[in-house]
Amino acid sequence: MSHALSRHDTRAPGRYLGLAGGVLVAMTVVFLLLAVGPLLGLFLYTPLPHALRGMLMEEAWQALLLTLWTSAIAVALAVVLGLPAAICLARVDFRGRVLVNALIELPIALPPLVLGVALILVWGRQGLLGHFLSDAGHPLSFTPLAVVAAQFVVASPFFVRIAKAAIEQVPVSLEEASITLGRSLPATLALVTLPLAGRGLLGALITCWARAMGEFGATILFAGSFPGRTQTAPTAIFNLMQNDVESAVGLALIMLAFSALAFVVAQMGARRLTTAGGMP
């Protein structure tokens, strides 16, 4: 009875908002037009066949493939290094936690160009640490690894922030019950905490990957835009806009398709996790 009532309550409010509901819907439509509407320009500027014809350019495909594999590595690093950080911030009470959390999230509030300047000053060929790599014959800046570094620095804080929020939503009492039953802390995290936070973690993963795919400012400063070497899809679009707008539009449409597919997969995955008993 209570379950049925609870389910009914989650669906009912939209029917009874009346005028307020109509205003909210209207404001949502306005927001959609202003925030997402400009994307229609990609489809209206030129016929789709003309735009996609530009994608036959080798330079465009090289940029897209480079973006895909570098962003995949950046996201993998974000998960390997960021997930423990998210668990620590969500579950470990230590002095300075608020400060550490603020520092981790600081890149979210900074322009990517600032992060690019910071990367150059630290890891550039004459940077605080980068000159050691350069002297050893393995400079980091203006290499494909520099693309990964830029994407990681810009995108990983998004993963930690969302993952931390997802883990915090898992009741601590469930973890305590698991430990009481004899499971170790790592086993509890693997079998209880992370599965229940799975929906949020999937959202963190997709958001991080989308941010890495779209990274421009830090990448162009720290890695440059050398075709076939460090030119990512966003930097290629920027360069193509100077003299080949149709090709730029074609590449932008391909990136849009990848992003849309990623979020569709995320929604499907979230529904499966909810059906399997994950946190709603």
* DSSP secondary structure letters along 71-107: HHHHHHHHHHHHHHHHHHHHH---TTHHHHHHHHHHH
Using CA atoms, how far apart are residues 78 and 195, in angstroms rounded to an integer?
A: 19
Which parts of the chain sit beneath pLDDT 70?
A: 1-17, 45-57, 266, 269-280
Check residue 39 and give its pLDDT. Answer: 79
Q: What is the pLDDT of residue 101?
A: 93
Q: DSSP state, 189?
A: I
**Residue 134 CA: distances (Å) to CA of 122, 128, 139, 143:** 12, 11, 4, 12
In this structure, what are the phi and psi dihedrals at residue 142, rounded to the nearest 5 degrees?
60, 35
Q: What is the DSSP letter of 47?
A: -
Name the token pair of 206.
């997709």
Find, among 221, 82, 204, the residue nearest to 150 by Cα. Answer: 221
Q: Which of 88, 140, 89 is nearest to 119 (CA)?
A: 140
Are 206 and 220 spatial neighbours (Cβ–Cβ below 8 Å)? no
pLDDT reported for residue 1 = 42
Q: What is the pLDDT of residue 4?
A: 44
- pTM, entire model: 0.83
